[in-house]
């Protein structure tokens, strides 16, 4: 009976707290009374707390919720985008405690620890005092700001120095014969250095790791959101050992250092399954290694979430639902072609269709799709895999990349014989993609009869929403913007750089798309071997918006900057 009464009182107290939080949000002007009543009514059905429910609905912003909590609890608020934790404060408690309680230490002053928390309960404060062993002063911050600060505070790269020092002292070049070997760090500091680099890369959303020997150092660079950044400089004496360790993990030949090699391995970091593709090549200073990271646990984007304008998305969706024909996704390396193709497969996948893919590598696993991994060493090329797939009664075929004339011919013939074919192709824009097929030697009348459309794309970085500010673009940027057809505007925005975006002013990326439909008029031009300019002009006359125009549209909506469009989208 006492237990039931206690639970009833706790439930009542919780409801009162939610109501008080809502009232503070109304007082701040972040919420209307009607919105509060609707949210409180829906809490019993959703099982969420008020703050979580309001964030999920998009009714309030995270910083507004933090202000409401600060008022309700009587704590001061702190913006972690402008405030960095003091040096050495991470030793107050470990990373697992910070993540479990969603708190981050900020400063230590005369026996008092200043801590930022997103929603501190009395139990959380008590645990902090027990862990820290001192007085604790609480500050309120947004949940995502705390999570990002935890990533930055407990950086794994900072722990590399001790292993580097041990390597230099022992001149150790020990490597290990397996990815999963349990090796004592005392005898293999190189192993620990590689592990820390991989862990740091996964946490920082890195797509590529570059390990580059130079004259007097070994440079480590990360590519984040399409841009490379220096992250570590190691002694040049570590170069051979570090690359050898990576090559053994990827099943490559460590003795051969003159010829380029490719390999791959799988690794699990913080519960994230990573597929890592490794490529090495010899430079004047030694072997350089590039590691491409594919996080298999990342969510699969739907086609409508990639950044296509509504009109382009509607037209593309109709195109990919054709029973036969070919749709090509074109762009340079790293422009998001594979993500677009997977989003397309996700949209057209249903039990009534036999969908088959040939890829190198298979980046996402679809349980209901038959996916084939290309393997040159076993004699399975794109062309061979495509031939075998045609005997498997397919409805939809995805070719990871058209690299040669044989693959191109088979793909075109498959589209002409009643199959729907999706493929990627390296080209600068949609008109150039058509000419690449012609250059490969595929007959123009086959191309005009099989290709339904081409979507060319690029990726540009989004302006960080935590540090946006007005700036004055250069005369060259203004000229480019006006020439690209951007809307007239007086205020241009960019990211000033803050703790949450690593000082870059950007966070995340969005796609820029150019969709070319192969109309009867364009078919006649293709058969007549028209130039790229003639094809492009006809497509624009029929309503195609170019990459430059779509990039300028994103600038007009303050999604990205003119300089970012010039850097990534600069196309005719």
At residue 124, the pLDDT reads 84
Alpha-carbon gap, residue 433 to 453, rounded angstroms:
10
Which H helix or E strand runs over 473?
A: none
Residue-wise DSSP of 218-243: EEEEEEETTEEEEEEEEEGGGHHHHH
Burial of 63 from C-beta contacts in 10 A (0-12 / 13-18 / 19+): middle
Which H helix or E strand runs over 354?
A: none
Find all residues with CB under 8 Å of 557, minimum gap 6, and list them.
none
Alpha-carbon gap, residue 44 to 471, rounded angstroms:
46
At residue 17, the pLDDT reads 66
Alpha-carbon gap, residue 483 to 465, rounded angstroms:
27
Q: What is the pTM of this model?
A: 0.79
Give the tokens for residue 6: 């206690």
Between the alpha carbon of residue 316 and those of residues 293, 312, 328, the distances in Å are: 29, 6, 11
At residue 452, the pLDDT reads 96
* 3-state class (DSSP) for residue 147: helix
Neighbours of 560 (CB within 10 A): 24
The one-digit pLDDT tens for each residue of the chain (572 residues) are 433 433 333 344 455 666 777 777 777 777 777 777 777 776 666 666 777 777 777 778 777 888 888 888 888 888 888 888 887 787 788 888 888 888 888 988 888 889 998 888 888 888 888 887 778 888 999 888 888 888 777 765 556 777 777 777 765 444 444 454 444 444 478 888 999 899 889 888 899 999 999 988 999 999 999 889 998 889 998 999 999 999 999 999 999 999 999 998 989 887 788 889 999 999 999 999 999 998 877 777 788 788 899 999 999 999 999 999 999 999 998 899 989 999 999 889 888 999 999 988 787 778 889 999 887 777 788 888 888 898 999 999 999 899 889 999 999 999 999 999 999 999 999 999 999 988 888 999 999 999 999 999 999 999 998 899 999 999 999 999 999 999 999 999 999 988 888 888 999 999 999 999 999 999 999 999 899 999 999 999 999 999 999 999 999 999 999 999 999 987 55
Per-residue HEC secondary structure of 49-91 comes to CHHHHHHHHCCCCHHHHHHHHHHHHCCEECCCCCCCCCCCHHH
At residue 16, the pLDDT reads 65
At residue 170, the pLDDT reads 67
Alpha-carbon gap, residue 248 to 241, rounded angstroms:
11
């Amino acid at each position: 009976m006492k237990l039931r009464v206690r639970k009833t009182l706790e439930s009542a107290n919780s409801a009162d707290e939610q109501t008080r939080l809502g009232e503070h949000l109304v007082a701040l002007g972040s919420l209307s009374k009607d919105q509060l009543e609707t949210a409180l009514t829906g809490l019993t059905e959703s099982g969420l707390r008020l703050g979580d429910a309001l964030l999920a609905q998009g009714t309030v912003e995270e910083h507004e919720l933090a202000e409401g909590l600060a008022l309700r609890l009587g704590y001061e608020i702190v913006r972690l985008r402008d405030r960095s934790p003091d040096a050495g404060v991470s030793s107050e408690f470990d990373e697992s405690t910070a993540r479990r309680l969603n708190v981050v230490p900020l400063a230590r002053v005369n026996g008092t620890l200043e801590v930022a928390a997103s929603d501190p309960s009395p139990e959380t404060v008590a645990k902090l005092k027990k862990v820290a062993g001192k007085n604790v002063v609480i500050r309120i911050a947004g949940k995502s700001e705390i999570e990002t600060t935890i990533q930055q505070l407990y950086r794994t790269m900072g722990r590399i120095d001790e292993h580097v020092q041990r390597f230099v002292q022992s001149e150790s070049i020990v490597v290990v014969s397996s990815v999963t070997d349990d090796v004592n760090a005392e005898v293999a500091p190189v192993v620990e250095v590689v592990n820390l680099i991989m862990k740091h890369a996964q946490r920082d959303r890195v797509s590529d790791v570059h390990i580059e020997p130079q004259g007097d150092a070994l440079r480590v660079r990360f590519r984040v959101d399409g841009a490379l950044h220096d992250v570590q400089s190691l002694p040049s004496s570590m170069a051979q050992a570090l690359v050898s360790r990576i090559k053994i993990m990827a099943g490559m030949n460590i003795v051969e250092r003159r010829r380029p090699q490719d390999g791959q391995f799988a690794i699990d970091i913080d519960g994230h399954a990573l597929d890592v593709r490794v490529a090495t090549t010899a430079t004047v200073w030694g072997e350089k290694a590039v590691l491409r990271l594919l996080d298999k646990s990342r969510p699969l984007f739907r086609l409508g979430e990639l950044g296509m304008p509504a009109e382009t998305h509607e037209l593309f969706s109709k195109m990919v639902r054709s029973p036969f024909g070919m749709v090509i996704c074109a762009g340079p390396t790293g422009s998001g072609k594979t993500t677009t193709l997977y989003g397309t497969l996700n949209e057209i996948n249903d039990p009534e269709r036999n969908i088959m893919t040939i890829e190198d590598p298979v980046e996402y696993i679809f349980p209901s799709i038959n996916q084939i991994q290309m393997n040159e060493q076993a004699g399975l090329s794109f062309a061979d895999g495509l031939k075998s797939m045609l005997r498997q009664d397919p409805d939809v075929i995805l070719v990871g990349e058209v690299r040669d004339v044989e693959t191109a011919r088979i793909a075109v013939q498959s589209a002409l014989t009643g199959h729907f074919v999706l493929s990627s192709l390296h080209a600068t824009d949609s008109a150039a993609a058509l000419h690449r097929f012609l250059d490969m030697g595929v007959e123009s009348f086959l191309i005009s009869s099989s290709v339904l459309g081409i979507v060319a794309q690029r990726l540009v970085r989004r302006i960080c929403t935590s540090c946006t500010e007005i700036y004055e673009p250069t005369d060259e940027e203004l000229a480019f913007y006006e020439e690209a057809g951007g809307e007239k505007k007086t205020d241009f925005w960019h990211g000033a750089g803050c703790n949450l975006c690593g000082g870059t002013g950007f966070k995340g990326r969005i796609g820029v798309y150019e969709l070319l439909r192969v109309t009867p008029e364009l078919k006649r031009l293709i058969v007549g071997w028209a130039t790229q300019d003639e094809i492009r002009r006809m497509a624009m006359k029929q309503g195609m918006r170019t990459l430059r125009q779509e990039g300028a549209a994103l600038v007009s909506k303050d999604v990205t900057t003119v300089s970012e469009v010039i850097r990534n989208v600069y196309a005719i």
